[in-house]
Structure 1
Amino acid sequence: MRIFSLKSCDTCKKAIKALRDAGKDPEVIDVRADGISDADLDSIIAQFDEAAINKSSTTWRNMDETEKTMPIKSLLTMYPTLMKRPVIQNGDVWTIGWKEDAQAAHL
């Protein structure tokens, strides 16, 4: 199990704590500090397409219209914190966010 997160993200912290409390030992990948490999980025985009972009983030709101039309992979490569989080991979199961569906899939 891997979780793509951001150290300062409260939702990511809640997800990691809940997973550990449930006896899971996720590999935590901080998208800012560790980065995201091309292969992982391709998998995330294949799973979630535009939903991988957090369009309510400050980063997104501060971008100009030209930047917003860039390909998703380019955006997430330039601004890894623009990714909606957490993204959790457990085998073939991928989820994004930490709502009931993600909790049910991983806990």
Structure 2
Amino acid sequence: MLIYGLKNCDTCRKALKSLPNARLVDVRAEALDRVTLQRAWARFGAELLNTRSTTWRGLDADERSRDPLELIAEHPALMKRPLIEAEGEFHLGWTPETRRALGVD
């Protein structure tokens, strides 16, 4: 199981603590590969883009209108997190639904 996120993200740390067999992939240190990013986008669409982040608010209108996958690749903090890959399926966020799907109480 892989948790794509940021090592200093509190939500990612909570997920990692609850999923001891998971490995955190810090997307700032290890860029998310294009295929994984495309698969996640196909599953979640615009939900994958964190438009409430400080990084998003710092972008001008021209930058915001660019291809979202390119933006996430250039600015990993723009990806909503954690993005969890388990048994070939993606889960986004550390929501009650995600925890239920992963068998975490």
Shorter-chain TM band: over 0.9
Native 8 Å contact 1:45 1:72 kept in 2: no
Structure 1 segments unaligned to the other structure (5+ residues): none
Give yes or no for the alignment of 1:48 onto 2:44: yes
**Alpha-carbon distance in structure 2 between the residues aligned to 1:92 and 1:105:** 13
**TM-score normalised by the chain length of structure 2:** 0.93
Q: Give the fraction of aligned pairs with identical amino acids, expressed as a percent.
A: 37
In the other structure, the counterpart of 1:11 is 11
In the other structure, the counterpart of 2:59 is 63
Could you say what secondary structure the match of 1:41 adopts?
helix
**TM-score normalised by the chain length of structure 1:** 0.91
Q: Which residue, out of 66, 77, 91, partners 2:73?
A: 77
Give yes or no for the alignment of 1:37 onto 2:27: no
Structure 2 segments unaligned to the other structure (5+ residues): none
State the AA in 1 paired with 2:18.
Answer: A
**Alpha-carbon distance in structure 1 between the residues aligned to 2:70 and 2:35:** 14
Could you say what secondary structure the match of 2:77 adopts?
helix
Alignment size in residue pairs: 103
State the AA in 2 paired with 1:79.
Answer: H
CA RMSD of aligned residues (A): 0.9
| Structure 1 consecutive aligned stretches of length 4 or more whose deviation exceeds 3 Å | none
* Superimposed CA distance per residue, residues 38-91 of structure 1 (whole angstroms, 9 cap, x where no aligned partner): 111111111111111111100001100111111111111111111000000112
